[in-house]
Structure 1
Amino acid sequence: MLLYIWRHPKPLAANGLCLGHTDIGVHPRKLKRLANQIQRFVRLHKLPKVIWVSPLQRSLKVGKMLAQKGFECRVAPDLIELDFGTWDGRSWSDIPKQEIDNWCDNFAHSAPYNGESVQELFTRVEGQIQAWQNRQIDTGDNDSILAVGHAGWINMAKMLAAGEGVPQVAADWPRPVGYRELSSLRF
């Protein structure tokens, strides 16, 4: 299976925020740019017009724009970003340093923010990829999946595609992919 996944456009007023499940909007022009970018890519590579999106508006609205252009838009709840619990939507500078240090000390398995651990995200990403693979086997669909997702989810998918496990220390977590950036991953 080949996964083509774009990171959503930059949300409004997101600078410096711990952003996971918080549903922040995106300027319509940025949404349209990504939708056009995906449409051109699909046309150029003769791919099926099916787009998978997370339920958060920064991803979902791209899918809805593509649906107006003849795409089938499928919402996958497991495509959502890491759940940062009580940290979500807060400024990183407002989160006590000791809480962040506690997370970094047991990066893979702790969630001092009462949300989802990195290990739980890994399991969720792995499950979504397996569901796509099973769906393709069951339906005989083309082996390409198109999606709009989030930086943490994409980073974890890249690690899975490379045969890597869950990072045990925060320093092993890769830099986030850029907004509207395409990642091509083979599973």
Structure 2
Amino acid sequence: MHLYLIRHPRPAVAANVCYGRTDLSVDADALALAKTSLLPVLPKNASLFSSPLRRCTELTEMLAKELDCPAPTYDERLSEMHFGEWEMRTWDDIPRHDIDAWSSDMAGYRPGGGESVLEVAHRVRAFRDELASMNIDHAIVICHAGIIRLLAACEHGLSIPEMALYAAQKPHKIRYGELLVVDC
């Protein structure tokens, strides 16, 4: 299976804000740019999966129509990590001791009382295992940088705790609207 992992376009939110699971729309120009860059490199009639958050669904709906894909599957397991009380706060507004606590336990700490990376890894692995059982050639997945890192970690044959740690410790450089292709 060819897995086409796409990070959503830039959401309509100020820089330096922890937005996590908050449901944000996408800037229209960013959406148009993502569509233009992705259409030439994506397969037609592929199975399409998406986080149910608007910053993903807006692009998903456009691509589904343009690529003649079957109806997209919106899956909660592809949602971004929930940052609890940190949601919609600037990173500078979050107490340093809370950020340090997360840094000392990247996989297990629940930022703002939300989800831990380990909890997210469990749901992402469940999605990936189900996807593997579908016996499809091409799957397009539109989601979030953290989810993409975890899906990529699945391909390394790691246990769920190892997968969470791998994704949490590896800095990402996944740009908004960027495509990563993984051969499974």
TM-score when normalising by structure 2: 0.87
C-alpha change, 1:171 and 1:31, in structure 2 (3 Å) is closer
Question: Does 1:151 pair with 2:145?
Answer: yes
For residue 77 of structure 1, what is the amino acid of its counterpart? E
For the Cα contact (< 8 Å) 2:153–2:166, is it kept in 1?
no
Question: 1:157 Cα shift?
Answer: 1.6
Partner of 1:181: 178
Question: 1:5 Cα shift?
Answer: 0.7
Question: Does 1:60 pair with 2:54?
Answer: no
Question: Does 1:38 pair with 2:38?
Answer: yes
1:94-141 Cα distance to aligned partner (Å, 9 max, x none): 1001111111112211214111111111111111111111122xxxx3
> Aligned equivalents of 2:2 and 2:19: distance in 1?
27
Return structure 1 stretches of 4+ with deviation > 3 angstroms.
166-171
Partner of 1:18: 18
Question: Does 1:124 pair with 2:118?
Answer: no
DSSP 3-state at the match of 1:166: helix
For the Cα contact (< 8 Å) 1:106–1:169, is it kept in 2?
no
> Aligned equivalents of 2:124 and 2:94: distance in 1?
26
Question: Does 1:172 pair with 2:169?
Answer: yes
What's the RMSD between the two structures over aligned residues? 2.1
DSSP 3-state at the match of 1:51: strand
For residue 89 of structure 2, what is the amino acid of its counterpart? R
> Aligned equivalents of 1:2 and 1:134: distance in 2?
14
Partner of 1:115: 114
| Residue-pair matches, total | 179
> Aligned equivalents of 1:95 and 1:112: distance in 2?
10
- 1:161 corresponds, among 134, 155, 160, to 155
For the Cα contact (< 8 Å) 1:22–1:89, is it kept in 2?
yes
For residue 84 of structure 1, what is the amino acid of its counterpart? F
TM-score when normalising by structure 1: 0.85
For the Cα contact (< 8 Å) 2:128–2:154, is it kept in 1?
no
> Aligned equivalents of 2:166 and 2:77: distance in 1?
24
Which has the larger displacement, 24-33 or 4-13?
Answer: 24-33
C-alpha change, 1:4 and 1:37, in structure 2 (3 Å) is same
1:61-110 Cα distance to aligned partner (Å, 9 max, x none): 01111233333322121111111111112111110011111111122112
Which has the larger displacement, 23-32 or 89-98?
Answer: 23-32
C-alpha change, 1:51 and 1:16, in structure 2 (3 Å) is same
